[in-house]
Structure 1
Amino acid sequence: MELEQDVVTDVLKRLRRAQGQVGGLIQMIEGGRDCKDVIVQLAAVSRALDRAGLKLVMSGLQQCLSEGSEQSEVDRAQLEKLFLSLT
Structure 2
Amino acid sequence: MTDTMSEEEKIKKNVLSRMKRIEGQVRGIQGMIEAGKECQDILVQVRAVRSALQSANKLILKRYLLRCYAESVEDGTDSKEALDKFIRVVTGFIEG
Quick one: percent identity of the two aligned structures? 33
Q: Which moved more, 1:59-68 or 1:13-22?
A: 59-68
Displacement of 1:59 in angstroms is 2.2
Unaligned runs of 5+ in 1: 70-82
Q: How many residue pairs align between the two structures?
A: 71
* Structure 1 residue ranges, 4+ long, deviating more than 4 angstroms after superposition: 65-69
Displacement of 1:51 in angstroms is 1.0
TM-score normalised per structure 2: 0.62
More helix by share: 2
Q: Give the greater-gyration-radius structure (CA).
A: 2
Cross-structure match for 2:14: 10
1:23 equivalent to 2:32? Answer: no
1:44 equivalent to 2:48? Answer: yes
Displacement of 1:4 in angstroms is 1.5
TM-score normalised per structure 1: 0.68
RMSD: 2.5
Superposed CA offset, 1:8-41 (max 9, x none):
1000011001000000000000000000000000
1:4 is paired with a residue of what secondary structure?
Answer: helix
